[in-house]
Protein backbone atom coordinates (compact mmCIF):
# COMPACT_ATOMS: atom_id res chain seq x y z
CA UNK A 1 0.00 0.00 0.00
CA UNK A 2 2.89 2.35 0.82
CA UNK A 3 5.18 0.95 -1.87
CA UNK A 4 6.03 4.34 -3.40
CA UNK A 5 6.85 5.63 0.07
CA UNK A 6 8.99 2.57 0.83
CA UNK A 7 10.97 2.94 -2.41
CA UNK A 8 11.90 6.54 -1.55
CA UNK A 9 11.94 6.37 2.21
CA UNK A 10 15.50 7.68 2.70
CA UNK A 11 14.95 10.60 0.38
CA UNK A 12 11.68 11.47 2.17
CA UNK A 13 13.13 11.07 5.66
CA UNK A 14 16.00 13.29 4.61
CA UNK A 15 13.39 15.94 3.85
CA UNK A 16 11.77 15.35 7.20
CA UNK A 17 15.20 15.85 8.76
CA UNK A 18 15.39 19.28 7.12
CA UNK A 19 11.91 20.07 8.42
CA UNK A 20 12.98 19.12 11.95
CA UNK A 21 16.19 21.16 11.73
CA UNK A 22 14.27 24.16 10.47
CA UNK A 23 11.69 23.76 13.25
CA UNK A 24 14.32 23.49 15.98
CA UNK A 25 16.26 26.54 14.72
CA UNK A 26 13.03 28.54 14.35
CA UNK A 27 11.88 27.57 17.86
CA UNK A 28 15.15 28.21 19.66
CA UNK A 29 15.62 31.56 17.90
CA UNK A 30 11.93 32.51 17.94
CA UNK A 31 11.42 31.79 21.64
CA UNK A 32 14.66 33.52 22.68
CA UNK A 33 13.85 36.57 20.56
CA UNK A 34 10.21 36.37 21.65
CA UNK A 35 11.18 36.60 25.33
CA UNK A 36 12.97 39.88 24.55
CA UNK A 37 10.19 41.15 22.28
CA UNK A 38 7.74 40.54 25.13
CA UNK A 39 9.92 42.64 27.44
CA UNK A 40 9.94 45.40 24.83
CA UNK A 41 6.15 45.26 24.64
CA UNK A 42 5.83 46.07 28.35
CA UNK A 43 8.70 48.57 28.40
CA UNK A 44 7.97 52.02 29.75
CA UNK A 45 10.71 53.42 27.53
CA UNK A 46 8.89 54.74 24.44
CA UNK A 47 12.02 54.36 22.30
CA UNK A 48 11.83 50.64 22.94
CA UNK A 49 8.07 50.18 23.18
CA UNK A 50 7.02 51.88 19.93
CA UNK A 51 9.49 50.28 17.50
CA UNK A 52 8.88 46.82 18.99
CA UNK A 53 5.11 47.29 18.87
CA UNK A 54 5.31 48.42 15.25
CA UNK A 55 7.41 45.36 14.38
CA UNK A 56 4.98 43.01 16.14
CA UNK A 57 1.84 44.55 14.65
CA UNK A 58 3.33 44.69 11.17
CA UNK A 59 4.39 41.05 11.02
CA UNK A 60 1.34 39.67 12.76
CA UNK A 61 -0.80 41.18 10.02
CA UNK A 62 1.29 39.68 7.25
CA UNK A 63 0.92 36.20 5.75
CA UNK A 64 3.98 34.10 6.58
CA UNK A 65 4.46 33.03 2.98
CA UNK A 66 4.92 36.67 2.01
CA UNK A 67 7.55 37.16 4.69
CA UNK A 68 9.46 34.11 3.48
CA UNK A 69 9.28 35.26 -0.14
CA UNK A 70 10.09 38.85 0.59
CA UNK A 71 13.03 38.01 2.78
CA UNK A 72 14.44 35.58 0.22
CA UNK A 73 14.30 38.13 -2.60
CA UNK A 74 15.22 41.25 -0.65
CA UNK A 75 18.11 39.93 1.42
CA UNK A 76 20.45 39.33 -1.54
CA UNK A 77 19.98 42.99 -2.49
CA UNK A 78 20.93 44.10 1.01
CA UNK A 79 23.61 41.49 1.64
CA UNK A 80 25.01 41.69 -1.89
CA UNK A 81 24.95 37.93 -2.39
CA UNK A 82 22.27 35.25 -2.52
CA UNK A 83 21.40 33.56 0.75
CA UNK A 84 21.04 29.82 0.85
CA UNK A 85 17.37 28.84 1.18
CA UNK A 86 17.81 27.13 4.57
CA UNK A 87 19.45 30.13 6.21
CA UNK A 88 16.96 32.48 4.59
CA UNK A 89 14.06 30.34 5.85
CA UNK A 90 15.50 30.12 9.37
CA UNK A 91 15.86 33.89 9.64
CA UNK A 92 12.37 34.54 8.22
CA UNK A 93 10.84 32.07 10.66
CA UNK A 94 12.68 33.50 13.65
CA UNK A 95 11.62 37.09 13.00
CA UNK A 96 8.07 36.00 12.15
CA UNK A 97 7.48 33.53 15.00
CA UNK A 98 9.16 35.84 17.54
CA UNK A 99 6.19 38.20 17.20
CA UNK A 100 3.80 35.40 18.19
CA UNK A 101 6.04 34.09 20.97
CA UNK A 102 6.56 37.70 22.05
CA UNK A 103 2.84 38.23 22.62
CA UNK A 104 2.67 35.00 24.63
CA UNK A 105 5.60 36.18 26.78
CA UNK A 106 4.00 39.60 27.16
CA UNK A 107 0.89 37.97 28.64
CA UNK A 108 3.16 35.94 30.92
CA UNK A 109 5.03 39.03 32.13
CA UNK A 110 1.79 40.88 32.75
CA UNK A 111 0.61 38.05 35.00
CA UNK A 112 3.57 38.75 37.32
CA UNK A 113 2.72 41.22 40.08
CA UNK A 114 4.47 44.58 40.19
CA UNK A 115 5.51 43.87 43.78
CA UNK A 116 7.30 40.66 42.78
CA UNK A 117 9.48 42.68 40.41
CA UNK A 118 9.94 45.31 43.14
CA UNK A 119 10.99 42.56 45.55
CA UNK A 120 13.70 41.49 43.12
CA UNK A 121 14.91 45.08 42.67
CA UNK A 122 14.88 45.65 46.41
CA UNK A 123 17.52 42.95 46.85
CA UNK A 124 19.79 44.87 44.49
CA UNK A 125 19.17 42.84 41.32
CA UNK A 126 19.48 44.90 38.13
CA UNK A 127 16.86 45.00 35.37
CA UNK A 128 18.64 42.42 33.24
CA UNK A 129 19.24 40.11 36.23
CA UNK A 130 15.57 40.41 37.17
CA UNK A 131 14.53 39.64 33.59
CA UNK A 132 16.88 36.70 33.29
CA UNK A 133 16.29 35.03 36.68
CA UNK A 134 12.75 36.06 37.57
CA UNK A 135 10.58 37.39 34.74
CA UNK A 136 11.58 35.10 31.86
CA UNK A 137 11.56 31.80 33.86
CA UNK A 138 8.20 32.57 35.49
CA UNK A 139 6.58 33.69 32.21
CA UNK A 140 8.05 30.64 30.44
CA UNK A 141 6.56 28.25 32.99
CA UNK A 142 3.18 29.94 33.19
CA UNK A 143 2.86 30.18 29.42
CA UNK A 144 4.29 26.73 28.62
CA UNK A 145 1.02 25.32 27.23
CA UNK A 146 0.62 28.29 24.85
CA UNK A 147 4.29 28.12 23.89
CA UNK A 148 3.92 24.44 23.00
CA UNK A 149 0.79 25.15 20.97
CA UNK A 150 2.60 27.90 19.05
CA UNK A 151 5.56 25.55 18.57
CA UNK A 152 3.24 23.04 16.89
CA UNK A 153 1.98 25.79 14.59
CA UNK A 154 5.59 26.69 13.78
CA UNK A 155 6.33 23.04 12.97
CA UNK A 156 3.40 22.98 10.55
CA UNK A 157 4.36 26.34 9.06
CA UNK A 158 7.84 25.15 8.10
CA UNK A 159 6.34 23.39 5.07
CA UNK A 160 5.81 26.87 3.56
CA UNK A 161 9.57 27.06 3.04
CA UNK A 162 9.05 24.95 -0.08
CA UNK A 163 8.20 28.19 -1.94
CA UNK A 164 11.87 29.24 -1.91
CA UNK A 165 12.99 25.81 -3.06
CA UNK A 166 14.06 24.42 0.30
CA UNK A 167 13.99 20.63 0.10
CA UNK A 168 12.03 20.00 3.25
CA UNK A 169 9.52 17.20 3.81
CA UNK A 170 6.66 18.45 1.62
CA UNK A 171 8.95 19.63 -1.18
CA UNK A 172 10.70 16.27 -1.38
CA UNK A 173 7.39 14.45 -1.33
CA UNK A 174 6.21 16.47 -4.30
CA UNK A 175 9.48 15.70 -6.11
CA UNK A 176 8.89 11.97 -5.54
CA UNK A 177 5.28 12.38 -6.62
CA UNK A 178 6.35 13.88 -9.92
CA UNK A 179 8.25 10.67 -10.66
CA UNK A 180 5.98 8.08 -9.06
CA UNK A 181 2.58 9.74 -9.50
CA UNK A 182 1.24 8.26 -6.25
CA UNK A 183 -0.17 11.45 -4.76
CA UNK A 184 -2.65 9.90 -2.35
CA UNK A 185 -0.26 7.55 -0.61
CA UNK A 186 2.68 9.96 -0.66
CA UNK A 187 0.84 12.94 0.77
CA UNK A 188 -1.14 10.58 2.99
CA UNK A 189 2.18 9.51 4.49
CA UNK A 190 3.16 13.15 5.05
CA UNK A 191 -0.19 13.82 6.71
CA UNK A 192 0.23 10.83 9.06
CA UNK A 193 3.73 11.91 10.09
CA UNK A 194 2.62 15.49 10.76
CA UNK A 195 -0.42 14.28 12.66
CA UNK A 196 1.58 11.99 14.95
CA UNK A 197 4.07 14.73 15.84
CA UNK A 198 1.49 17.46 16.34
CA UNK A 199 -0.93 15.27 18.27
CA UNK A 200 1.85 14.15 20.61
CA UNK A 201 2.81 17.79 21.04
CA UNK A 202 -0.72 18.83 21.97
CA UNK A 203 -0.89 15.98 24.50
CA UNK A 204 2.34 17.22 26.07
CA UNK A 205 0.86 20.70 26.20
CA UNK A 206 -2.21 19.33 27.99
CA UNK A 207 0.02 17.54 30.48
CA UNK A 208 1.89 20.73 31.38
CA UNK A 209 -1.37 22.64 31.65
CA UNK A 210 -2.71 20.14 34.18
CA UNK A 211 0.58 20.03 36.05
CA UNK A 212 0.77 23.82 36.18
CA UNK A 213 -2.76 24.04 37.53
CA UNK A 214 -1.98 21.51 40.25
CA UNK A 215 1.17 23.35 41.34
CA UNK A 216 -0.72 26.63 41.45
CA UNK A 217 1.52 28.25 38.85
CA UNK A 218 -1.23 29.24 36.39
CA UNK B 1 20.52 57.87 58.13
CA UNK B 2 17.51 58.41 55.89
CA UNK B 3 16.52 62.05 55.41
CA UNK B 4 13.20 62.79 53.77
CA UNK B 5 12.97 66.51 53.00
CA UNK B 6 9.56 67.97 52.06
CA UNK B 7 8.85 65.26 49.52
CA UNK B 8 5.76 65.49 47.33
CA UNK B 9 4.57 63.06 44.72
CA UNK B 10 1.80 63.09 42.14
CA UNK B 11 0.21 60.33 40.08
CA UNK B 12 -0.76 62.49 37.07
CA UNK B 13 -2.61 65.34 38.80
CA UNK B 14 -3.53 63.37 41.91
CA UNK B 15 -1.23 64.23 44.80
CA UNK B 16 -0.31 61.12 46.83
CA UNK B 17 2.38 62.60 49.07
CA UNK B 18 2.46 66.16 50.41
CA UNK B 19 5.54 67.70 52.01
CA UNK B 20 6.69 64.59 53.85
CA UNK B 21 9.47 65.50 56.23
CA UNK B 22 11.16 62.90 58.39
CA UNK B 23 14.58 61.75 59.53
CA UNK B 24 15.32 58.16 60.46
CA UNK B 25 18.51 57.68 62.48
CA UNK B 26 20.55 54.49 62.44
CA UNK B 27 19.20 51.94 64.88
CA UNK B 28 15.75 53.49 65.07
CA UNK B 29 12.48 51.71 64.49
CA UNK B 30 9.77 53.89 63.01
CA UNK B 31 6.21 52.67 62.64
CA UNK B 32 3.97 54.27 60.03
CA UNK B 33 0.24 53.84 60.33
CA UNK B 34 -2.82 55.34 58.76
CA UNK B 35 -5.87 54.43 56.69
CA UNK B 36 -5.44 52.67 53.35
CA UNK B 37 -4.66 55.01 50.48
CA UNK B 38 -2.88 57.46 52.76
CA UNK B 39 0.42 57.07 50.89
CA UNK B 40 2.30 54.83 53.34
CA UNK B 41 3.35 52.20 50.80
CA UNK B 42 4.12 54.87 48.22
CA UNK B 43 6.49 56.54 50.68
CA UNK B 44 8.36 53.25 51.21
CA UNK B 45 8.57 52.71 47.46
CA UNK B 46 10.01 56.22 47.03
CA UNK B 47 12.68 55.61 49.66
CA UNK B 48 13.74 52.48 47.77
CA UNK B 49 13.85 54.31 44.45
CA UNK B 50 11.04 52.15 43.09
CA UNK B 51 8.88 55.22 42.46
CA UNK B 52 10.01 58.69 41.46
CA UNK B 53 8.93 61.77 43.40
CA UNK B 54 8.51 65.22 41.93
CA UNK B 55 9.41 67.60 44.74
CA UNK B 56 11.79 67.59 47.70
CA UNK B 57 14.65 65.22 48.32
CA UNK B 58 15.33 61.83 49.87
CA UNK B 59 18.89 61.30 51.07
CA UNK B 60 20.15 57.88 52.17
CA UNK B 61 23.54 57.94 53.89
CA UNK B 62 24.36 61.21 52.18
CA UNK B 63 23.30 60.06 48.71
CA UNK B 64 20.37 61.83 47.08
CA UNK B 65 17.90 59.59 45.24
CA UNK B 66 16.89 62.30 42.79
CA UNK B 67 20.47 62.87 41.68
CA UNK B 68 20.63 61.37 38.17
CA UNK B 69 24.15 60.08 38.92
CA UNK B 70 22.89 57.93 41.79
CA UNK B 71 22.99 54.22 41.03
CA UNK B 72 19.63 53.07 42.36
CA UNK B 73 20.54 49.39 42.03
CA UNK B 74 23.55 49.95 44.27
CA UNK B 75 21.48 51.94 46.75
CA UNK B 76 18.84 49.21 47.02
CA UNK B 77 21.45 46.68 48.14
CA UNK B 78 21.44 48.55 51.46
CA UNK B 79 17.67 48.76 51.83
CA UNK B 80 15.75 45.53 52.28
CA UNK B 81 12.03 45.45 51.68
CA UNK B 82 9.30 43.06 52.79
CA UNK B 83 5.91 43.08 51.11
CA UNK B 84 2.35 42.44 52.20
CA UNK B 85 1.94 39.45 49.90
CA UNK B 86 5.46 38.01 50.49
CA UNK B 87 6.38 38.09 46.77
CA UNK B 88 8.64 35.06 46.87
CA UNK B 89 9.88 33.80 43.51
CA UNK B 90 7.40 30.94 42.89
CA UNK B 91 9.79 28.90 40.72
CA UNK B 92 12.53 28.74 43.35
CA UNK B 93 12.87 26.91 46.65
CA UNK B 94 13.17 28.87 49.90
CA UNK B 95 16.94 28.39 49.81
CA UNK B 96 17.19 29.59 46.19
CA UNK B 97 14.98 32.59 46.94
CA UNK B 98 17.42 33.68 49.64
CA UNK B 99 20.70 32.87 47.89
CA UNK B 100 19.90 34.43 44.48
CA UNK B 101 20.84 38.05 45.24
CA UNK B 102 24.00 37.24 47.24
CA UNK B 103 25.18 35.14 44.29
CA UNK B 104 24.24 37.55 41.52
CA UNK B 105 24.78 40.92 43.20
CA UNK B 106 27.49 40.18 45.77
CA UNK B 107 29.08 37.51 43.55
CA UNK B 108 29.28 35.00 46.40
CA UNK B 109 30.01 31.39 45.47
CA UNK B 110 27.05 29.03 45.54
CA UNK B 111 28.35 27.24 48.66
CA UNK B 112 28.84 30.48 50.57
CA UNK B 113 25.48 31.88 49.49
CA UNK B 114 23.67 28.68 50.44
CA UNK B 115 25.48 28.47 53.76
CA UNK B 116 24.38 32.00 54.49
CA UNK B 117 20.81 31.21 53.38
CA UNK B 118 20.75 28.20 55.73
CA UNK B 119 21.95 30.36 58.63
CA UNK B 120 19.19 32.86 57.91
CA UNK B 121 16.54 30.14 57.70
CA UNK B 122 17.84 28.95 61.05
CA UNK B 123 17.47 32.46 62.40
CA UNK B 124 13.85 32.82 61.24
CA UNK B 125 13.11 29.38 62.63
CA UNK B 126 12.42 27.25 59.54
CA UNK B 127 15.65 25.48 58.51
CA UNK B 128 13.60 22.39 57.64
CA UNK B 129 11.85 24.30 54.83
CA UNK B 130 15.00 25.03 52.80
CA UNK B 131 13.94 22.88 49.85
CA UNK B 132 10.24 23.74 49.92
CA UNK B 133 8.66 25.84 47.18
CA UNK B 134 6.61 28.90 48.22
CA UNK B 135 3.35 27.19 47.18
CA UNK B 136 3.99 24.55 49.85
CA UNK B 137 4.66 27.01 52.67
CA UNK B 138 2.14 28.68 54.96
CA UNK B 139 1.77 32.46 54.81
CA UNK B 140 3.77 32.94 57.98
CA UNK B 141 6.57 30.73 56.69
CA UNK B 142 6.59 32.54 53.34
CA UNK B 143 6.91 35.89 55.05
CA UNK B 144 9.77 34.63 57.18
CA UNK B 145 11.55 33.41 54.05
CA UNK B 146 10.94 36.85 52.51
CA UNK B 147 12.54 38.52 55.54
CA UNK B 148 15.49 36.14 55.29
CA UNK B 149 15.79 36.96 51.58
CA UNK B 150 16.14 40.66 52.40
CA UNK B 151 18.57 40.03 55.26
CA UNK B 152 20.81 37.97 52.98
CA UNK B 153 22.02 41.21 51.41
CA UNK B 154 23.02 42.48 54.87
CA UNK B 155 21.07 45.69 54.42
CA UNK B 156 21.53 48.69 56.68
CA UNK B 157 17.82 49.43 56.56
CA UNK B 158 14.73 47.24 56.46
CA UNK B 159 11.35 48.40 55.27
CA UNK B 160 8.17 46.44 55.93
CA UNK B 161 4.99 47.15 54.00
CA UNK B 162 2.11 45.71 56.06
CA UNK B 163 3.99 42.44 56.58
CA UNK B 164 1.28 40.75 58.61
CA UNK B 165 -1.95 42.05 57.11
CA UNK B 166 -2.29 39.18 54.61
CA UNK B 167 -1.69 36.54 57.28
CA UNK B 168 -4.11 34.38 59.20
CA UNK B 169 -4.28 35.54 62.84
CA UNK B 170 -2.42 32.54 64.24
CA UNK B 171 0.57 33.24 61.99
CA UNK B 172 1.00 36.92 62.78
CA UNK B 173 3.01 36.43 65.94
CA UNK B 174 5.69 34.23 64.36
CA UNK B 175 6.46 37.00 61.87
CA UNK B 176 6.32 39.73 64.50
CA UNK B 177 8.73 37.77 66.70
CA UNK B 178 11.29 37.80 63.90
CA UNK B 179 10.78 41.54 63.39
CA UNK B 180 11.03 42.31 67.10
CA UNK B 181 14.27 40.33 67.38
CA UNK B 182 15.62 42.25 64.42
CA UNK B 183 14.73 45.63 65.93
CA UNK B 184 16.33 44.66 69.23
CA UNK B 185 19.54 43.69 67.43
CA UNK B 186 19.76 47.29 66.29
CA UNK B 187 18.45 47.10 62.72
CA UNK B 188 17.13 50.41 61.39
CA UNK B 189 13.52 49.71 60.49
CA UNK B 190 10.65 51.46 58.83
CA UNK B 191 7.42 49.52 59.25
CA UNK B 192 4.00 50.18 57.85
CA UNK B 193 1.86 48.21 60.27
CA UNK B 194 -1.14 48.43 62.54
CA UNK B 195 0.21 45.88 65.00
CA UNK B 196 -0.02 47.71 68.31
CA UNK B 197 1.91 45.11 70.29
CA UNK B 198 4.81 45.43 67.91
CA UNK B 199 4.70 49.23 68.05
CA UNK B 200 4.62 49.20 71.84
CA UNK B 201 7.56 46.89 72.11
CA UNK B 202 10.02 48.37 69.63
CA UNK B 203 8.85 51.62 68.01
CA UNK B 204 10.95 54.68 68.77
CA UNK B 205 8.53 56.84 66.85
CA UNK B 206 5.07 56.44 65.37
CA UNK B 207 3.99 58.42 62.34
CA UNK B 208 0.33 58.76 61.45
CA UNK B 209 -0.41 59.50 57.80
CA UNK B 210 -3.64 60.54 56.15
CA UNK B 211 -4.27 61.79 52.59
CA UNK B 212 -0.56 61.79 51.82
CA UNK B 213 0.43 63.94 54.79
CA UNK B 214 2.05 63.22 58.13
CA UNK B 215 -0.74 64.27 60.46
CA UNK B 216 0.81 63.29 63.74
CA UNK B 217 3.98 61.84 65.19
CA UNK B 218 5.13 60.76 68.62
CA UNK B 219 6.14 57.89 70.83
CA UNK B 220 3.85 54.92 71.45
CA UNK B 221 2.48 56.46 74.62
CA UNK B 222 1.89 59.85 73.03
CA UNK B 223 0.19 58.53 69.96
CA UNK B 224 -1.90 55.62 71.18
CA UNK B 225 -2.83 57.07 74.56
CA UNK B 226 -3.22 60.73 73.68
CA UNK B 227 -3.82 61.29 69.99
CA UNK B 228 -4.09 64.99 69.27
CA UNK B 229 -5.82 65.12 65.89
CA UNK B 230 -9.42 64.15 65.23
CA UNK B 231 -8.35 61.94 62.30
CA UNK B 232 -6.00 59.93 64.49
CA UNK B 233 -8.67 59.47 67.19
CA UNK B 234 -11.12 58.26 64.59
CA UNK B 235 -8.56 55.90 63.08
CA UNK B 236 -7.53 54.45 66.43
CA UNK B 237 -11.16 53.80 67.29
CA UNK B 238 -11.41 51.65 64.16
CA UNK B 239 -8.28 49.56 64.67
CA UNK B 240 -8.54 49.02 68.42
- Looking at residue A84, what is its pLDDT? 87
Please state, rounded to an integer, the average pLDDT across all residues of chain A.
Answer: 93
Question: Which of A44, A111, A115, A124 should one mutate to test binding to chain B, selecting the residue with the greatest count of B CBs within 10 A?
Answer: A124
Query: Mean per-residue pLDDT for A118-143?
Result: 96
**Residue A153 scores a pLDDT above 50:** yes
Closest C-alpha to B144, from B161, B165, B125, B167: B125
pLDDT at B126: 96
Q: What angle do CA B80, B81, B84 make, to 5 degrees?
A: 160
What is the predicted pLDDT for the residue at A83?
Answer: 81
pLDDT (0 to 100) of residue A74: 87
Report the pLDDT value the prediction gives residue B240, as an integer from 0 to 100: 72
Distance separating alpha carbons of residues A143 and A62, to the nearest angstrom: 24
A87, A40 in Cβ contact below 8 A?
no
A121 contacts in chain B (CB < 8 Å): 48, 50, 73, 76
> Would the CB atoms of B152 and A123 count as touching at under 8 Å?
yes
Q: Are A121 and B150 an interchain contact pair (Cβ–Cβ within 8 Å)? A: no
Domain locations in chain A as residue ranges: 3-214
Which residues in B have their CB inside 8 Å of a CB on A? 45, 48, 50, 73-74, 76-77, 79-81, 83-85, 87-91, 100-101, 104-105, 133, 135, 146, 149-150, 152-153
All residue ranges of chain B with pLDDT < 70 are none
Kindly state the average pLDDT of the residues A145-170.
93
A111 touches chain B (CB under 8 A): no
Whole-number pLDDT of residue A217: 54
pLDDT computed for residue A39 by the predictor: 97
pLDDT in tens, A79-116: 888 788 999 999 999 999 999 999 999 999 999 999 99
Q: Which of A69-78, A167-176, B111-120, B202-211 has the lowest mean pLDDT?
A: A69-78
Label residues A76-89 b or e (16+ Cβ within 10 Å = b): eeeeeeebebbebb
Q: Which residue has the higher pLDDT, B238 or A198?
A: A198
Q: How far apart are the CA of A142 and the nearest CA of chain B, in angstroms?
A: 10
- Residue A218 binned pLDDT confidence (cut-offs 50, 70, 90): very low
Whether the predicted pLDDT of A216 surpasses 70: no
**CA–CA separation, A2 and A22 (whole Å):** 26
Tally A–B CB contacts below 8 A. Answer: 73
What is the rounded CA–CA span in Å between residue A166 and residue A159? 9
Helices (H) and strands (E) in chain A, counts: 11, 0
Interchain pair B73, A126: CB under 8 A: yes
Q: A115, B84: Cβ pair inside 8 Å? A: yes
Q: Which CATH number fits domain A3-214: 1.10.1660.10, 1.10.630.10, 1.10.10.410, 1.10.3720.10?
A: 1.10.3720.10
Strands B29-33 and B79-82: unpaired
Amino acid sequence: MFNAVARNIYFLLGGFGVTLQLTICALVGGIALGALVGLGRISRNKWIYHPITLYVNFLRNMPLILVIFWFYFVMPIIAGRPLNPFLSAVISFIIFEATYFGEIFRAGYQSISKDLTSAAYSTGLTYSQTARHILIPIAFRRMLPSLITQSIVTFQDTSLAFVIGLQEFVRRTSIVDNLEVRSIQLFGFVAIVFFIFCFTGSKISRYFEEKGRKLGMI
Amino acid sequence: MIEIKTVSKWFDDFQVLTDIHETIERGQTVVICGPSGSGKSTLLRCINGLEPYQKGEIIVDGVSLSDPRTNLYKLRENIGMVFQRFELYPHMTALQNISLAPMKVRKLSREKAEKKAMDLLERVGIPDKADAYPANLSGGQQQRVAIARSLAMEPKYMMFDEPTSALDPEMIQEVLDVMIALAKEGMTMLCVTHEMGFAREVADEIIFMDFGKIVERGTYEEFFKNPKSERAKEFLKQIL
